[in-house]
């Protein structure tokens, strides 16, 4: 019968106490609301398209998403109500564009509240930095 060496006992490292969350509840709630809206694939694609192409007509977004006008308009309404997109009316046509104010304000408050003067959030293998243009 083979002799099995006993397993070495694992050294238990005491957990490091967590740093207090310094970010305001209102900022966290605002970011959660934005992330919930962006959790929908169509709405995220709309924002990506508007970010790349600037102002777009609803029909161009319908073609891009391969979706109906009522469906795209529904998503645009949600994004507009949240303050993420705005529109300009020309005759009977609406042209949509990103409104950066809400997201900019939330990110500025997030990075200011985090207490990191460099406006960076560090992860294990990358950092997220905020810088205004």
- Residue 19 maps to a domain: no
Which residue range forms the structural domain that includes residue 32? 25-112
- Residue 127 maps to a domain: no
- Residue 131 maps to a domain: no
Q: Could you tell me the two tokens for 104?
A: 């900019």
- Residue 118 maps to a domain: no
Q: What angle do CA 32, 85, 108 make, to 5 degrees?
A: 50
- Residue 52 maps to a domain: yes
Q: Can you tell me whether residue 59 is helix, strand or coil?
A: helix
Q: How many domains does the chain divide into?
A: 1
Global confidence as pTM: 0.70
The four Cα atoms 131, 29, 35, 108 give a dihedral, to 10 degrees, of -10
Strand order in the sheet with 56-57: 56-57, 93-98, 85-90
List the CATH number of the domain containing 107: 1.10.10.10
What is the C-alpha to C-alpha distance for residues 68 and 65, in angstroms, rounded to an integer?
9
Would you write out the chain's pLDDT as a tens digit for each of its 133 residues?
566 767 767 677 777 777 666 778 888 888 899 889 989 999 999 999 998 999 999 999 999 999 999 999 999 999 999 989 999 999 999 999 998 887 778 777 777 776 656 677 778 888 877 777 7
- Residue 71 maps to a domain: yes
- Residue 69 maps to a domain: yes
- Residue 126 maps to a domain: no
């Amino acid at each position: 019968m083979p002799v099995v060496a006993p397993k070495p006992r694992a050294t238990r490292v005491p957990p490091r106490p967590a740093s207090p969350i310094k970010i305001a509840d209102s900022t966290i709630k605002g970011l959660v609301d934005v992330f919930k809206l962006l959790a929908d694939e169509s709405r995220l694609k709309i924002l990506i398209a508007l970010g790349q192409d600037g102002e777009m007509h609803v029909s161009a977004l319908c073609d891009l998403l391969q979706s109906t006008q009522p469906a795209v308009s529904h998503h645009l309404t949600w994004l507009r109500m949240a303050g993420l997109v705005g529109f300009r009316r020309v005759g009977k046509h609406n042209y949509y564009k990103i409104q950066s104010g809400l997201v900019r304000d939330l990110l500025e408050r997030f990075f200011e509240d985090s207490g990191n003067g460099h406006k960076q959030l560090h992860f294990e293998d990358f950092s997220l930095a905020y810088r205004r243009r």
